[in-house]
Every structure is written in C-alpha cells, then in structure tokens.
Amino acid sequence: MELSLPCKMGFLISSVWVRFRWGCPPGKITLKYDARETCYFVRGKVKAFSKGGDCVEFGAGDLVVIPKGLSCTWDVSVAVDKFYKFDPS
C-alpha cells in the first residue's frame, strides 16, 4: 500500500481545507478512494491495512496523500478529526 506521509508538522490551514472536515470514532471502517485525497489529521490515530495486508500508521499532525483507487481498512484507535480535499483529476 502506498500512502505518502510527506511531512509531520503543524501549519496554518487554508479556507479551502476548513470547509471539508471529517471525523470518526474508534473502530474499524472500510474505505475505497475514487479520487486522490490529501488530508491533515488534527487528532486521532489510525492503522490503515490494505487488502494485501500492508499496514501504515498515521495520526495527529500528519499530512497524508491517499492514491485514487486504494481500498483499505482503517483501525481507528483514537477518534479521528481531519481536514481533507480531493484531487479532481
């Protein structure tokens, strides 16, 4: 599974990001990405498992790029709060 974790940093979030916010409680959730997503985690902790069994961990302070077409299961250990945007291409 190829998820990019380009940086771990705090930054000023633009107004474009502020409009798109998502959260979920602890638990497991299966996701399919029909578009590339870039997201910044304000809080939370996640282990993402691909169908092949690869695992990537990310959480509060991480900026994550998720490729179009990825299917994975998130195991959320700490409730997630994130800002996100989809790449229209």
Residue-range domains of the chain with CATH: 4-10+27-86 (2.60.120.10)
In 3D space, the residue among 76, 81, 75 whose CA is nearest the CA of residue 62 turns out to be 81
User: For residue 53, what pLDDT is reported?
Assistant: 82
Show pLDDT as tens, one digit a residue, over the chain (89 residues): 445 444 444 444 454 455 688 999 999 999 999 999 989 999 999 999 988 888 999 999 998 989 999 999 999 999 999 999 888 76
User: For residue 23, what pLDDT is reported?
Assistant: 94
- Sequence-separated (6 or more) residues with CB below 8 Å from residue 48: 1, 3, 55, 56, 57, 58, 72, 73, 74, 75
User: For residue 51, what pLDDT is reported?
Assistant: 85
SS3 2: coil
User: For residue 8, what pLDDT is reported?
Assistant: 42
